[in-house]
A and B are shown apart, each in its own frame.
Chain A
């Protein structure tokens, strides 16, 4: 119990003193996760919507694969990205291993199926509700996708936030491809893992509280900006 109090005290001390190292790690965590989120959302939200309205031969199989990919083990993703980006790998010449870019690539691979799958579920429900009306109004495919994305934007936001939650809390893959290098690729989760390994539980807990607070702050800010709760469910 005393370690938890010590952790809270350490977290407050770090925040209060605007610890340079902490700010550096926090900003890098946000940069990596938000960039991964932006890229993954750009790919996964339209894909999930498209999958909801488009009928094709292997659609069910594609949905099953997508759902299965939600459970991709981050360590395995990290290992594959490592092999692809290592000097002997096909993309080794790009020199991306142990950089934030490699961490972003790994996170995009991990969270895209999650975002696409949640978006697909939400859009499928909305499509079954709108189907007859949009067909009757003689809309084009793009007009249908547009209507679904616009009217389902709050649910899509939830999908994106789920992706952000997974990205900001991810440690296995980014530890492998980022290497947890101080002031280069160290983020909150890898720093927590490091401090725990060193036995500095107070600092690890302090970083953990900051991570949770950060995650809550980002979620609440996005909800507030999109007025999710004030307009209720339409």
Chain B
């Protein structure tokens, strides 16, 4: 049984070298399947994701989860836009998060075997992970995040620079994770992908949340000028 992990941001501001890159932002996200964070380049999507994950220092405001912050962090996983591979084998990469959580060897072995098969890397278990192709590395990073069954999964443009078949495989894995009860918060540039996956959309522009709505209402009738322009393919400034 997964925990309900809703989060609220209250007047959150992130500044870097005196420049505001996010906020002031107030929002609430409940535990509801896919939340897509979309917006033009430099809108603050990655910063918002890192703030939610607790790895970005906020200048002011507060972030509060429905569970204690330590419990929230333990139930989260993050996949970066450029996958970070430990300089170890595929197997050791998959096993590492479980070792940190103190899983026993037998359980680790079962989970690693299952996930390696799921991402099609059973034959490469003992290969060095950094030598895999970009698509394989991204799938491995995703499997490494999901292997510990997180309540909340943050994905920062996980399909950027991937080919169609890799994107399809990753989307399948993500749908399975949501069906299993995970909450996914994901940034993307790909509007097609956002339409395919999103249950809920957060539209960011210039560090501000301009619109937050269900996917159906966002794509059918966006309420903000910026979102309309973005969906029409116009340049949004």
A residues with a Cβ closer than 8 A to B are 126, 129-130, 132-133, 135-139, 143, 147, 151-152, 231-232, 234
Residues of B within 8 A of A234 (CB): 87-88, 128-131
A136 touches B87 (CB 8 A): no
From A133, which residue of chain B is reached at the shortest CB distance? B84
B residues with a Cβ closer than 8 A to A are 53, 55, 73-74, 77-78, 80, 84, 86-88, 96-97, 100, 128-131
C-alpha spacing A139/B73, complex, angstroms = 11
B100 touches A137 (CB 8 A): yes
C-alpha spacing A234/B88, complex, angstroms = 7
Closest chain A CB from B175 CB (angstroms)? 23
C-alpha spacing A106/B87, complex, angstroms = 36
B100 touches A130 (CB 8 A): no
30 intermolecular pairs with C-beta atoms under 8 Å apart = A126-B87, A130-B84, A130-B86, A132-B55, A132-B80, A133-B80, A133-B84, A135-B55, A136-B53, A136-B55, A136-B77, A136-B78, A136-B80, A137-B96, A137-B100, A138-B73, A138-B74, A138-B100, A139-B100, A143-B100, A147-B86, A147-B96, A151-B86, A151-B88, A152-B87, A231-B128, A234-B87, A234-B88, A234-B128, A234-B130
Apart from the given pairs A138-B73, A234-B88, 20 other A-B contacts in the complex at a CB distance below 8 Å: A129-B84, A130-B84, A132-B55, A132-B84, A133-B80, A133-B84, A136-B77, A136-B78, A137-B96, A137-B100, A138-B100, A139-B100, A143-B100, A147-B86, A151-B88, A152-B87, A231-B128, A234-B87, A234-B128, A234-B130
Residues of A within 8 A of B130 (CB): 234
Residues of B within 8 A of A139 (CB): 100
C-alpha spacing A135/B78, complex, angstroms = 10
C-alpha spacing A153/B131, complex, angstroms = 18
C-alpha spacing A132/B82, complex, angstroms = 11
Residues of A within 8 A of B128 (CB): 231-232, 234
Closest chain A CB from B46 CB (angstroms)? 11
B74 touches A151 (CB 8 A): no
Closest chain B CB from A218 CB (angstroms)? 25
Residues of A within 8 A of B86 (CB): 130, 133, 147, 151
